[in-house]
Chain A
Amino acid sequence: MNMSMDAFFEIYGIFATVVLIVLGIIALLCLLRAIIGPTPADRIVAINMLGTLTMSMIAVLLVKLREGYLADICLIYALISFLAVIVLCKVYVGAYLTKKKVKEARKNGNS
């Protein structure tokens, strides 16, 4: 079979389009999970998954477009997604402990 590099990337381009569509559907499902998730932890898990899905999309797109700079964007996205999870966890724990403290203070004040 005669296969030049152009044909190689043409076939991969069709495959990558299908893959990107499927990844988009999965990302929508993750967003739905983030909306309906009953606890804050569920939402953070869904956000974490969304970040990973976006990184995979960038990696697939990088090979499709043959643009090397997208790897740097993928790297920055990984770091920012990690930072977002850390900050969200810290903020939620802090808010929860403050709320608990306020509730206890109110209870002691009443009694």
Chain B
Amino acid sequence: MEILNLIRLIAGCFFIFLGIIGFLVEVLGVYRLGYTLDRMHFAGSGDTLAFAEIILGAVIINGLNFTSAKLVLVLIIFWFASPVSSHLISRLINYTEENKEEHFHVCDEEESKQYIEKQ
């Protein structure tokens, strides 16, 4: 039983540590990258992974009870909410960015039709 507790503690702390590393990498990416869409991509994907790891570690240490179920519910809701907010932020960038042609290629209608036909 004691050995099991020790394994539980080590596994939970390991997952929380991984989550911290994920957040550190995310902040590094948000500082290093130059364009807003790149930053948004880094922040969105990093959030999803790091938060999942921290919740997993907390659930492992907490054990199987009702609180852990609620934490998993928070994770599921976050996994639905985070991509939607990333989508909204990218739409905001698409509306408000003045010179987006400098950063990426914007298709016109004919070009996109040709692309679809090629597929």
B9 and A59: CB pair below 8 A? no
Check B67 against A96 for contact (C-beta < 8 Å). no
Chain A residues whose CB sits within 8 angstroms of the CB of B78 once the complex forms: 52, 55, 78
What chain A residues lie within 8 Å of B12 (beta carbons)?
12, 63
Q: Tell me whether chain B's interface is mostly helix, strand or loop, or mixed.
A: helix
Of A12, A40, A45, A92, which one neighbours B39 at CB under 8 angstroms? A45
Whether A23 pairs with B23 at a CB distance below 8 angstroms is yes
Bound-complex Cα distance A68 to B54 (A): 17
Smallest distance from the beta carbon of B75 to chain A beta carbons, Å?
9
Bound-state CA distance A79–B71 (Å) is 14
| Distance in angstroms between the alpha carbons of A59 and B72 in the assembled complex | 11
The reply to whether the CB of A105 lies closer than 8 angstroms to some CB of chain B is no
Q: Evaluate contact between B77 and A75: CB separation under 8 angstroms.
A: yes
Q: How many residues of A contact B (CB 8 A)?
A: 48
Asked if B89 and A3 sit within 8 Å, CB to CB, the answer is: no
Question: Contact residue range for chain B?
Answer: 35 or more
What's the Cα separation between A39 and B95 when bound, in Å?
Answer: 13
A44 to chain B, nearest CB (A): 6
B108 → chain A closest CB, angstroms = 21
B112 contacts the other chain (Cβ, under 8 Å)? no
Which residues of chain B are near A40, meaning CB under 8 Å? 92, 96
Give B contacts to A, CB under 8 Å: 2-3, 5-6, 8-9, 12-13, 16-17, 19-20, 23-24, 26-27, 30-31, 36, 39-40, 43, 47, 50-51, 54-55, 58, 61-62, 66-67, 70-71, 73-74, 77-78, 81-82, 84-85, 88-89, 91-93, 95-97
- List residues of chain A with CB under 8 Å of any chain B CB: 1-3, 5, 8, 11-12, 15, 19, 22-23, 26, 29-30, 33, 39-42, 44-46, 48-49, 52-53, 55-56, 59-60, 62-63, 68, 71-72, 74-75, 78-79, 81-82, 85-86, 89, 92-93, 96-97
